[in-house]
Chain A
Amino acid sequence: MKFTATWTIALRALRRNPMRTGLTMLGIIIGVAAVIAMVAIGTGAKAEVAASIEQMGQNMVMVISRAARSGRVHLGGDSGVALTKQDYDAIRQEVAGLAGATPEVRASAQVAAGNQNVNTTIYGVSEEYPAVRAWRLERGSHFTETDIRGAAKVAVLGQSVATNLFGGGNPVGQMIRIQHAPYEVIGVLRAKGANMMGRDQDDLVLVPWTSAMVRLTGETSFRSISVQAESAERIPEVVEQITTLLRQRHRIPEGREDDFLIRNMQDMLEMATSTAQTMTILLGAIAGVSLLVGGIGIMNIMLVSVTERTREIGVRMAVGARSADILLQFLVEAVVLSVGGGLFGIGLGYGTAHLVSAKFGWNTLVSLDSVALAFLFSAVIGIFFGFYPARKAAGLDPIEALRYE
Chain B
Amino acid sequence: MTCPPVIRLEALDKVYQTGEVAVHAVRGVALTVEKGEFAAVMGPSGSGKSTLMNLIGCLDRPTGGRYWLDGEEVGALTKSELSRVRNQRLGFVFQGFNLLARTSALENVELPLLYSPHGHRARELRRRSREALERVGLADRAGHQPSQLSGGQQQRVAIARALVNEPALLLADEPTGNLDTRTSIEIMAIFQELNRKGMTILMVTHEPDIARYCRREIVMRDGRIVTDRPVADRLEAADELAKWRGTAMEERA
Contacts and interface: CB of A to CB of B under 8 A. Distances in A.
Interface string B71-95: 0000000011001101110001010
B59 A402 contact: yes
Given A318-B86, A319-B86, A8 B114 contact: yes
A316 B87 CA distance: 10
Contact of B116 (A1, A317, A318): A1
A323 to B, nearest CB: 7
Contact of B79 (A9, A17, A323): A323
In the complex, which range does the number of interface residues on chain B fall in? 20 to 34
A320 interface: yes
A268 interface: no
B115 A315 contact: no
B101 to A, nearest CB: 8
A360 B147 CA distance: 53
A12 B83 contact: no
Interface in B21-77: 54, 57, 59-60
B178 interface: no
A318 B98 contact: yes
Nearest to B145: A16
Interface string A294-306: 0000000000000
Contact of B103 (A4, A16, A402): A16
A190 interface: no
Contact of A324 (B80, B103, B161): B80
B112 interface: yes
A321 interface: yes
Interface string A50-64: 000000000000000
Interface in B109-125: 111-112, 114-117, 119, 122
A9 B83 CA distance: 17
A312 interface: yes
Given A398-B59, A399-B60, A402-B59, A320 B115 contact: yes
A87 B32 CA distance: 114
A16 B102 contact: yes
Interface of B: 54, 57, 59-60, 79-80, 83-84, 86-88, 92, 94, 98-103, 107, 111-112, 114-117, 119, 122, 161, 165
Given A314-B98, A322-B80, 14 more contacts: A1-B115, A2-B119, A16-B100, A312-B100, A315-B100, A315-B111, A316-B115, A317-B83, A318-B86, A320-B84, A322-B79, A322-B83, A325-B83, A399-B60
29 contacts: A1-B117, A2-B119, A4-B119, A5-B114, A5-B115, A5-B119, A8-B122, A16-B102, A311-B98, A314-B98, A315-B100, A317-B83, A318-B57, A318-B92, A319-B92, A319-B111, A319-B115, A320-B86, A320-B112, A320-B115, A321-B83, A322-B80, A322-B83, A322-B84, A322-B115, A323-B83, A325-B115, A399-B59, A402-B98
